[in-house]
Amino acid sequence: MQEISHFGLRGWRGYPGLMTLPHRHDDIEFNLVESGRMTYVFGSHQIDLYAGHFVLFWAAAPHQLIALEEDTNLIWLTLPLAWFLRWQLSDALTRRILNGEMIFVSEEAGSSRDDTLLNQWLEDLQIATPERRKIVLLELEARLRRLGLQTSEKSTLAKQGETSKAEQMAVFIANHYTEPLMIPQIAAAVHLHPNYAMKVFRQAYGRGLMDYVTQHRLLHAQRLLVTTQADILEIALEAGFGSSSSFYAAFKRICGQSPGQYRTALGGSKSE
């Protein structure tokens, strides 16, 4: 499992362009389709977005734009995952996003509130003063908290067709990643041979089963690092790692720094 790139807190507007291959980056991504229509391959789904659709998703899930109308215009914004985790949003919203689902914030063309917000955020990020960036983060947090209230009441997720075997495995991992997990156990949960289970999952999610387990454990650990003062070993064990050495190795490989450095960079006081 290689380190995933990230864009940070940034915003753009324009014609997005087709993608020749799926890509992924470690940010929460927001898309507002101002005009036209576009089609994503997102995980194992093909999702059509029309003018007025405002969606968000965790961009570490492989995604690819495969079709665009000529008049498509898009505002897209990326938010660092660390900030998303630090805000401790509603469990329902956080779980659904981190389980790799695309959430529809709005499906109404000309939704004045979100149109106004996205355009203001884009302007603020282009000016890029510390105060403007702080305002964007505060307003993003507030918008996500409001979305969390809605998400706890009903599903706002883009789901098409029956749940695939790959999705069933993803759900199983999301519910059991803090436990000792091996590929045969995951495959047995969906009644597949381990070798076939690995193939099916990689085709749908672009990564191996154990990479996905590690990803969930690292997310759990990152959340604890930025929201608690627990010891590093305690965090490693709670997140599902069998030892501190395996935790440090995975964290450094994927995040590019040690757990202590990650915590310090986000203002924590405990070191390793």
Of residues 135 and 101, the one with the higher pLDDT is 135
Q: Domain range for residue 116? A: 10-151
d(CA 58, CA 53): 17
- The residues pairing with 31 across neighbouring beta strands, listed in sequence order, are 55, 76
Q: For residue range 102-142, list pLDDT tens digits in order.
A: 999 886 655 678 989 999 999 999 998 999 999 999 999 99
Q: What is the number of H-type helices and E-type strands within the chain?
A: 11, 8
| Domain edge (last residue) among 151, 180, 202 | 151
Q: Are 107 and 16 in a shared domain?
A: yes
Q: Are 137 and 242 in a shared domain?
A: no
Q: Are 40 and 139 in a shared domain?
A: yes
Residue 44 in tokens: 């194992």
Mean pLDDT of all residues in 80-108: 84
Mean pLDDT of all residues in 144-167: 66
Residue 174: which CATH number? 1.10.10.60
Q: Are 229 and 253 in a shared domain?
A: yes
Q: Are 229 and 141 in a shared domain?
A: no
Q: Are 146 and 169 in a shared domain?
A: no
- Under DSSP, is residue 29 helix (H, G, I), strand (E, B) or coil? strand
Residue 28: which CATH number? 2.60.120.280
Q: Are 37 and 109 in a shared domain?
A: yes
d(CA 147, CA 111): 15
Q: Are 173 and 114 in a shared domain?
A: no
| Domain edge (last residue) among 110, 126, 151 | 151
Query: For position 207, what pLDDT does the model report?
Result: 81
Q: Is 62 contained in some domain?
A: yes
Q: Tokens 């030892």: give the residue.
A: 243
Of residues 77 and 175, the one with the higher pLDDT is 77
Q: Are 25 and 124 in a shared domain?
A: yes
Task: Give percent of the chain above pLDDT 90.
Answer: 52
Q: Are 14 and 146 in a shared domain?
A: yes
Q: Is 2 contained in some domain?
A: no
Q: Are 221 and 122 in a shared domain?
A: no
Q: Is 51 contained in some domain?
A: yes
- Number of structural domains (the chain) is 2
Q: For residue range 236-252, list pLDDT tens digits in order.
A: 999 999 999 999 999 99
- The residues pairing with 97 across neighbouring beta strands, listed in sequence order, are none
Q: Are 26 and 90 in a shared domain?
A: yes
